Structure 1
Amino acid sequence: MSRILRASILAFLFISPASISQEADEERKDSAQKEVEALQKPMYTPFVERYMLDEIKQLRIDQAKAKQELIQQIVDREHNSVDRAVAYATDTVTYFFYLIAAATSILVLVGWRSFQDIKERVHNLADEEISKLVQEYEKRLEVIERQLQQKTLHIEENREEIELTQEVQSLWLRAQQESSVANKIAIYDEILRLRHEDVEALTYKADAVLELNEPQWAVNLCHQALGIDSDNSHAFYQLACAHTAMGQFDEALRYLAEAIIRRESYRDEILSDNALQPLAESKVFKDLDKVIAKTPSPQTREKGN
């Protein structure tokens, strides 16, 4: 027994820690996979979306700061380049003046031209060269200043767009938590006041007014949405619900076919949606597949145009 015990202890000691760790990792992965498969509802909450929006906002702010710092560094380098160029030009002109002065001194001795005339010409030449350099670098500085103004304007527009997006998102969260249909419509109107062409707000408002038994109002809202986005599947689906409420089953079936062509998942919602129950119970509903087959897809319409 002692030999068997010693052999077992030695075998246990020689087991690789890596293999033990690998088995533990596999067990944790299996456990995590089982927990994920056992989930009954999505893990999404408004707080997660709020956190993601704040992170995106901070990321854009950091990006804007990085751009501003980069532009500032470029401007500083341009200034340094201007200073070096002016210093180089000044030194060059000075050395050139000394050279000319020496040459003119020799010429004056031989009687070719007076020293005063040569001095004036050298000064005039130097002034012209310096003026050209100054004008050139002033133009460059004006270009850099315009670029900085454009970047600043772009950063300001991004900041305003972030604030608008955040405000609209908070209104959507309020609409999801609101139980009163009238309050939902008021919130959708506020979203449309901020963004006049928000197709999603128009279609959700159409859904809300259908609950108030206002199908004609819903039809008008859906047509406004299709005027902005002609391929919006939710607008076609809401049109089908509105025409069903008005008893216009042929029109409802046509719009429902348009919605299914753009999103096949609507086919599963027909029987569970109370707004479409009269259509599903009507005789024309059996022709749904025929209407879908005769209706051209958006891609086919684009090719035809």
Structure 2
Amino acid sequence: MRSLIRLAALFLLCASVSVFAQSDADGEARQRVAEEIEKLEEPMYSPFIERYMLDELKQLRIDLSNQRAELIQQVVDREIESIDRGVTYATNTVTYFFYLIAAVSSILVLLGWNSIRDMKEKMSSLADEEVGKLVNAYEVRLRGIEKQLTQKTRHIDANREEIERTQEIHSLWLRANLEHTPANKIAIYDQILAVKPEDCEALTYKADVVLELGEPQWAVNLCQQALSIDSDNAHAFYQLACAHTALGHYEDGVHFLGEALSRAESYRESLMQDPALFPLHDMPAFKELLGIREEES
């Protein structure tokens, strides 16, 4: 239960940090939350807390949606403002060109140049060329803005999907802790693995349940899958030791038990109380393992 509470609290911490990523005090806030989590001594779970957490997650999704809408509105406003400035600038440029054309035409007429048609064509082509350059420049800018908007939209969608996925996994863990039937627990762990196939904790807890059902070889396979994902998972080594002990492979059980103790000293408290390890109590290697641990402590 304590690992579940820490998982829920860490999830809320990550969600809060993703919403308030621009705040300068994020580092201190994360540190304070982590310290509070480490101080937890009793389970915090209750239906009211679950309802509160789900409401907070829902509000977080709403805030992300509102943030996305505000971002899109700001980008659209900036695009419209840029287009207005571009059109105004182009209009003023063309107007100034026509004024210049009129002035030059007057001067040339006064100087006796009768080829006004040629002058008009050249000035028109020059004006079209300048306007074309301006249009191309603003098209490039608009494409850049559109690309940035697309990237931000994908990022927001990815965050939303991750929140929904984590929320679903959290709900399944709560159901698993409330379930007392091994078969139903296995079904829930399978649902968690369907959402997150590389969840080592779900694999090891499933291995614990199948051991209760008298399927040690199945438990061995599940622990091997967990170790292929995380080679330093102490819980997987501990469950592997229990499974090999159930299969009668006592030496392998002691070996994997030593691997678990080398990674998590807290398992030493469960060695003498766990019924799955009773067959190892009379083995010299098991006693030697306990003696080494006692001298080091």
What TM-score does the superposition give when structure 2 sets the normalisation length? Answer: 0.78
Partner of 1:149: 150
For 2:59 and 2:255, the matched residues in 1 are separated by 46
Partner of 2:192: 191
**SS of aligned partner of 1:257:** helix
Partner of 2:210: 209
The more displaced of 61-70 and 134-143 is: 61-70
For 2:249 and 2:139, the matched residues in 1 are separated by 72
Question: 1:163: how far off?
Answer: 2.4
Moved over 4 A (4+): 289-293
- Deviation string 1:157-176 (CA, Å, 9 cap, x unpaired) is 33333222222222222211
Is residue 62 of structure 2 the alignment partner of residue 61 of structure 1?
Answer: yes
Question: 1:246: how far off?
Answer: 1.7
For 1:225 and 1:100, the matched residues in 2 are separated by 80
Question: 1:74: how far off?
Answer: 3.0
* Contact in 1 for aligned 2:244/2:250 (Cα 8 Å): yes
For 1:268 and 1:53, the matched residues in 2 are separated by 35
For 1:47 and 1:206, the matched residues in 2 are separated by 31
* Contact in 2 for aligned 1:203/1:234 (Cα 8 Å): yes
Q: 1:86 to 1:233 in 2, by over 3 A?
A: same
Correspondences of 1:166-245 after superposition (within 5 Å): 166-245=167-246
- Deviation string 1:76-107 (CA, Å, 9 cap, x unpaired) is 12321221122123212311321232122211
For 1:164 and 1:252, the matched residues in 2 are separated by 36
For 1:132 and 1:258, the matched residues in 2 are separated by 70
For 2:105 and 2:248, the matched residues in 1 are separated by 107
Percent identical residues: 64
Figure out how many residues of one structure are paired with residues of the other and give that number. 255
The more displaced of 67-76 and 240-249 is: 67-76
For 1:275 and 1:42, the matched residues in 2 are separated by 26
* Largest Rg, 1 or 2: 1
**SS of aligned partner of 1:265:** helix
Amino acid at match of 1:211: E
What TM-score does the superposition give when structure 1 sets the normalisation length? Answer: 0.76
Is residue 260 of structure 2 the alignment partner of residue 259 of structure 1?
Answer: yes
Question: 1:41: how far off?
Answer: 4.7
* Contact in 2 for aligned 1:105/1:115 (Cα 8 Å): no
Q: 1:106 to 1:171 in 2, by over 3 A?
A: same
Larger RCO: 1 or 2 (CA < 8 Å, sep 6+): 2
In structure 2, stretches of 5+ residues that fail to align are 1-39
For 2:125 and 2:182, the matched residues in 1 are separated by 83
Partner of 1:134: 135
- Deviation string 1:269-298 (CA, Å, 9 cap, x unpaired) is 1112111222233322122158879xxxxx
**SS of aligned partner of 1:272:** coil
Partner of 2:271: 270
For 2:236 and 2:218, the matched residues in 1 are separated by 13
For 1:291 and 1:256, the matched residues in 2 are separated by 13
- Deviation string 1:207-231 (CA, Å, 9 cap, x unpaired) is 0010011111100100001111111
For 1:290 and 1:101, the matched residues in 2 are separated by 105
What CA RMSD, in Å, does the superposition of the two structures yield over aligned residues?
2.4
Q: 1:290 to 1:251 in 2, by over 3 A?
A: farther
For 2:131 and 2:57, the matched residues in 1 are separated by 50
For 1:183 and 1:44, the matched residues in 2 are separated by 20
Is residue 97 of structure 2 the alignment partner of residue 119 of structure 1?
Answer: no
* Contact in 2 for aligned 1:202/1:225 (Cα 8 Å): yes
* Contact in 1 for aligned 2:97/2:127 (Cα 8 Å): no
Q: 1:179 to 1:159 in 2, by over 3 A?
A: same
Question: 1:40: how far off?
Answer: 9.2
* Contact in 2 for aligned 1:249/1:284 (Cα 8 Å): no
Q: 1:267 to 1:193 in 2, by over 3 A?
A: same
